A and B are shown apart, each in its own frame.
Chain A
Amino acid sequence: MHEAMVAENIIESILSQVPSKKGRVVRVVISCGQMNALNDEAMEFAFEAAAEGTICKGAKLKIKHIPLKAKCKTCGKKFDYDLYEPQCPRCGKSDFDIGEDAPLLLEEIEFEVH
């Protein structure tokens, strides 16, 4: 359940960046990669709990899962790397260059001023 710590970090970041405490956060967009993937349900649950008692209470959380890009060394095909079935969708070989995994990112928030 490290989603709890991720949620606390999100709330902390938001609170340090909102333009004014007089308002509320209605939407939060975060993104993650494949290695650091978050479980959506656990993340939503943890976020709701961490938001309690702050201006983020009730905000909708959107979680974007960013694919990991790979390029087959045999046939050159570029594709989204599947951690569970890592092979080239064109030639079936499993020798490729893998790009950098997307970090856990707080992308943007939607803020309503009262």
Chain B
Amino acid sequence: MRIKIEQKILAKNEDFASANRKYFKRNNILCINMISSPGSGKTTILEQTAKALKNKLNIAVIEGDLYTEYDADRIRKTGLQAVQIETKGACHLSAEQITKAFHKLDAEKLDVLVIENVGNLVCPSDFDLGELRRVVVLSTAEGDDKCAKYPGSFAQADVLLINKMDIAKHVDFKISKAKRDARKLNKQLKIFEISAKTTAGMDKWFNWLLKSCKELRK
């Protein structure tokens, strides 16, 4: 007996994601899903962002890792609120986990919520968390061929931060190749070249955040 089902497999995740998105929109919270390989510098970028913008924006962070509170501790040291999700081995965050983690934050007057996804360029890109913007980070040490090799993450992002530009020449990273591959996949992609360590180029990223928050409140 053939039975037609025609049901979305990730329907449960999508239900949570749309509820999250609705909430963030209604409350003018710029929710960002940050995706990258492990070690690309996501947490350092957020530490620098906190330093630069904490008097201008109220930012909170949800940290996703397989294990440990290391990253949430780093964020808290900058004075921001942070909640850690330990996935205990799972390769991505789900929208339901975000709903639950968000309840642990003080959402009063929140401008920006950054979700630092589990370090992985493959799986997180399939799971909508209800974010309003998606940011992908690529560090030069990973190589300039990663945009083409992991298209899903780059094709669906709004912003690409190319981090560790200060060591690009030592690791033979060709910025033109990375940018060309990324743009092929995604014409609208905004690309900022940065070094979270030296803070070079970070201004453009900060301005993008400020501008996006302003647009949301319109």
Task: Name A's B-contacting residues (CB within 8 A).
Answer: 1-2, 5-6, 9-10, 13-14, 17-19, 30, 35-37, 83-84, 86, 94-95, 103-113
Contacts and interface: CB of A to CB of B under 8 A. Distances in A.
A35 B152 contact: yes
Chain A, interface SS category:
mixed
B91 A13 contact: no
Q: Which of B5, B12, B91, B92 has the most CB of A within 10 A?
A: B5
Given A2-B91, A36-B126, 14 more contacts: A9-B9, A9-B10, A13-B9, A18-B3, A19-B3, A36-B152, A86-B185, A104-B9, A105-B8, A106-B6, A106-B7, A108-B3, A110-B3, A111-B2
Nearest to B12: A9
Contacts of A111: 1-3
A84 B7 CA distance: 28
B155 A83 contact: yes
Category for how many chain B residues contact A: 20 to 34
A35 B5 contact: no
B104 interface: no
Nearest to A23: B1
Q: Which of A19, A37, A105 has the most CB of B within 10 A?
A: A105
Contacts of B152: 35-37, 83
Nearest to A29: B5
